[in-house]
A = this chain, B = another copy of it.
Amino acid sequence: MESSKQVKLTTLRDAIATLVPDGATVAMEGFTHLIPFAAGHEIIRQGKRDLILVRMTPDVIYDQMIGVGCARKLVFSWGGNPGVGSLHRFRDAVEHGHPHPLELEEHSHAGMAARYTAGASGLPFAILRAYIGTDLAKHTEMATIRCPFTGEELAAVPALSPDVTIIHAQQADRSGNVGMWGITGVQKEAALAARTTIVTVEEVVDELSPRGPNHVVLPSWTLAAVAPVPGGAHPSYAMGYSTRDNAFYTGWDEISRDRDVFDGWVEEHILGTEDHVSYMESIGRGEGIG
């Protein structure tokens, strides 16, 4: 029952190696829930460089990728450690150019969401009522546009169509159709806006079966690769499979404050491990994964 258009299940390592070139514009989305951490670690392991990283809410995984020097530019709307505080590697890059300067392009959440929606819709831009009275308008890519019917002036933002979008989902079936539920953020739009979409999943099942609200399906023929990576969202979570590892987020503050501590942590736990299973063991979260 497979045709040429249907995605083949693959490994995360192969997907990153073959589909994520240096210099690519890469969006890794997940709104607190379902963040593709394992994929980010694999990008670090494979030493990808000069990436334009895109994400509404760059959090710890982007802090890690920025800290090791994967990124030359960040396109975002809110960069923090949710519920904890600053992203120290992100701040070090912006405030002190370490490990190298990081170009920024920032929007509001509404602007980023509209940009992805335009990308998913095949439109070159989106309109929204945004940025009114702010200094953001001067520091971001936007234009104003007048309603041809009412004369109201609105914001226009360019469509966002990443070279590669990477997301994590709960399930794939054996044909590579992907199902996710709960808080799905902007993932559907980010996946449909991209030229190439990679999905890591908790589980491969015979039939997609939501165990929560807001079920979203991405058919296999819109995807480039699907890789089973159980626990691949850790320390984020996958509703129905895992809970958020809040202790990891809190602990990250300490690890990321100091350049050397951070470098050592990456060396030991990411570069020093082969894959997500051995990574989880190395950080002491091996139970129940893999």
Binding site for B on A (CB under 8 A): 122-129, 141, 143, 145, 147-150, 152, 154, 156, 158, 213, 215
Contact = CB atoms under 8 A, between A and B. Distances in A.
B129 A147 contact: no
B124 A150 contact: yes
The 4 closest A-B CB pairs, nearest first, are A143-B148, A124-B147, A124-B150, A149-B158
A197 to B, nearest CB: 22
A147 B125 CA distance: 7
A125 B143 contact: no
Given A143-B149, A148-B145, A149-B143, A128 B123 contact: yes
Number of copies: 2
Given A125-B149, A125-B150, 9 more contacts: A124-B149, A124-B152, A124-B154, A125-B147, A143-B148, A143-B149, A145-B145, A145-B148, A213-B215
A148 B125 contact: yes
Nearest to A144: B148
Contacts of A141: 149
Nearest to A114: B121
26 contacts: A122-B129, A123-B127, A123-B128, A123-B129, A124-B149, A124-B150, A124-B152, A124-B154, A125-B127, A125-B147, A125-B148, A125-B149, A126-B127, A127-B127, A141-B149, A143-B148, A143-B149, A145-B145, A145-B148, A147-B156, A148-B156, A149-B156, A149-B158, A150-B158, A213-B215, A215-B215
Contacts of A156: 147-149
Nearest to A145: B148
Nearest to A154: B123
A104 B42 CA distance: 58
